[in-house]
Amino acid sequence: MEEISSITVEPSEDDTRLDLFVSRRLGITRSEAARQIESGNVLVDGKPRKPSFKLKQGMAVRAVIVHEETGPYPEGADIPLSILYEDAHIVVIDKPAGLVVHPGAGTTGPTLVNALIHRYAEIAGVGDPERPGIVHRLDRLTSGVMVAARSAEAFGKLSAAFKAHEHDRVYLAICYGHLGKASGRIETLMQRNPRDRKKMSSKVSEGREAITDWLVVREWDQLSLLELRLRTGRTHQIRVHLSDIGHPVAGDPEYGGKRRANVVTDPVVRSRIKSLGRQMLHAWKLGLTHPVTGERMEFSSEPPEDFQGLVSLLDERRKQGV
């Protein structure tokens, strides 16, 4: 459910932090207010600001708050996980496509959080109790490397590092078309799509900075394999950026990648893409500084079978001259 509020800052509220102002005026927790602000749902005089932004009297605050149904805090569930690394402070997971990261509105079935709590009981008390241990996310239908915090110290430092974009996050994607050169950068603003608040858009005049670097790895007749590096970490960033420049990720059910399959001329490739059921986007590498030891670490995971299968099929069809 959405609640739209337009509020003018009163003289008594001069120099109040934005997250505190939103929390008081809308009757939500301060952590929830910060989350809504960081998601781009709150604008000050038409511009996105940080939770720590100090307001001045007369400023106009517009909030489109997306309320999520709250229920009991998540409990453990015995779900198999592929663990790439673990110690007393962090755990690095190779998340499969289809696994939701944390409970929320519309979520059915166990999530990664439930699996983590089952394996590491202490995570239940780390960070936000509704999504404990979570310092960044992958979309439900995106596979690949994720890190979660097992201690309060790790949670605070990892969260700050992700907000400052200090980690290296490299993805692989199969997208439609050819980008016309070997590499490039997509640099835009990004915010909620005004016509569909569940989606994001970079075709906006206001919003938060979003930067994606890309490199062509391989090209086929109507598709390309890209390596993408996130310089910022906005919701759906790669999917939105590629879609908005006319090269949606193959199989993407929300940003045009599913419909685009209809124009693929090779019937075998077209049939395979239509059967995917998810976007061909994989979080391939994650580089980070350990929040406690300070050691620089890098983790990677190979793309899953559906991704590699499509690459193999495209290679084979090219060899056959199709």
Dihedral sign computed on CA atoms, order 56, 57, 59, 60: positive
Active site residue 139: yes
Residue 101, burial from CB neighbour count under 10 angstroms (0-12, 13-18, 19+): buried
Q: What is the DSSP letter of 122?
A: G
Nearest to 290 by CA among 121, 163, 138, 167: 167
How high is the pLDDT of residue 165? 92
* pLDDT mean over 296-311: 97
How high is the pLDDT of residue 73? 80
* pLDDT mean over 102-107: 73
Question: Distance between CA atoms of 255 and 58, rounded to whole angstroms?
Answer: 38
How high is the pLDDT of residue 69? 52
Question: Distance between CA atoms of 277 and 261, rounded to whole angstroms?
Answer: 12
Question: Distance between CA atoms of 201 and 243, rounded to whole angstroms?
Answer: 9
**Choosing from 19, 87, 128, 139, which is the catalytic residue?**
139
What structural domains does the chain harbor?
Answer: 2-66 (3.10.290.10), 83-163 (3.30.2350.10), 168-319 (3.30.2350.10)
CA 189-195-201 angle, 5° bins: 20
| pTM exceeds 0.85, yes or no | no
* pLDDT mean over 61-87: 82
How high is the pLDDT of residue 1? 53
Q: What is the pLDDT of residues 245-295, one digit of tens each?
A: 999 999 999 998 788 999 999 999 999 999 999 999 999 999 999 999 999
Question: How high is the mean pLDDT of the chain?
Answer: 91
